[in-house]
Amino acid sequence: MRDRIVRAVTDRFAGDSGGHDADHTFRVVRNALRIWEVEGGNRDMVELAAMLHDVDDRKLFGGDPDECAFARSVMGDDFDEPFKDAVCSIIRNISFKGTDTKVPDSLEGRIVQDADRLDAIGAIGIARAFAYGGSKGRKMYDPLDKPKEGMGENEYFANTGTTVNHFYEKLLLLKDLMNTDEGRSMAQHRHDIMESFLKEFYDEWGL
């Protein structure tokens, strides 16, 4: 059953180079299980929600995450309805949406949200941000284009600013939004890496 889900996820993301490939998902699973070891909760739910957290993403697949269609079809008959509903509720609520971001109401959801955020920061987070920005034809940096503060969901998703701005609009905010103690302590080091990266970036730019 686990192999089947890994295969379905791998196929779903085949061809993505914008930082949302299956490897992102597998790193999120690893982060999530590490946090689960400290924080507890339902292990199967943490693992499955992490595995399926991006398979219905609107940006990637144009579907409606609220319907959770792909995730439900992958879970099939291997899980009962309440379990599938709980996984879908996690998937629906973990995404960053600016000031409209939600804190998931279950421990398992808070763990998976932290695990996803950890992969958006640190060295891999930096690489993913530039990969994503490049895939959308965005500039890396423009000293005249200032980051926007306090964006809500619609404004955040309509935003087409530079990748460096994305650090101020999301990545550097995540450390203080972590839900779990273990997630927070993992986030601190990755946050420091981004701060050093930006300092070096501005130096090399000649600012």
Contacts to ligand ADP by CB under 6 A: 19-20, 95-96, 116, 120, 125, 128-129, 132-133, 163, 166, 170-171
Which of ligand ADP, Ni ion, none binds 19 (CB below 5-8 Å, type-dependent)?
ligand ADP
Asked if 91 contacts 71 with a C-beta cutoff of 8 angstroms, the reply is: yes
Q: Which does 163 bind (CB under 5 to 8 A by kind): Ni ion, ligand ADP, none?
A: ligand ADP
Residues present in the chain in total: 207
Handedness of CA 203, 206, 162, 97 (dihedral sign): positive
Of 118 and 151, the one with the shorter C-beta distance to Ni ion is 118
- CB 51, CB 38: distance < 8 Å: no
User: 12 touches which of ligand ADP, Ni ion, none (CB within 5 to 8 A by kind)?
Assistant: none
Q: How far, in Å, CA of 106 to CA of 23, rounded?
A: 25
Q: How far is CA 38 from the centre of its chain?
A: 21
For tokens 């009962």, the residue is 80
- Report residue 169 as tokens: 């609009």
Report the residue from 47, 56, 108, 116 that binds Ni ion according to the rule CB under 5 A: 116
Which one, 39 or 116, has the nearer CB to Ni ion?
116
Least distance (Å) between residue 81 CB and ligand ADP: 26
Give the one entry of ligand ADP, Ni ion, none that residue 129 binds, where binding means its C-beta sits below a cut-off of 5 to 8 angstroms depending on kind. ligand ADP
- Closer to Ni ion by CB, 115 or 164: give it: 115
33 token code pair: 């299980």
Question: Is residue 56 within the footprint of Ni ion (CB under 5 A)?
Answer: no
- Which of ligand ADP, Ni ion, none does 125 bind, CB closer than 5 to 8 A by kind? ligand ADP
* Residue 47 in tokens: 């693992």
Residues 15-54 that bind Ni ion (CB under 5 A): 54
Count of helix runs (H) and strand runs (E) in the chain = 11, 0
Residues that bind Ni ion (CB under 5 A): 54, 116
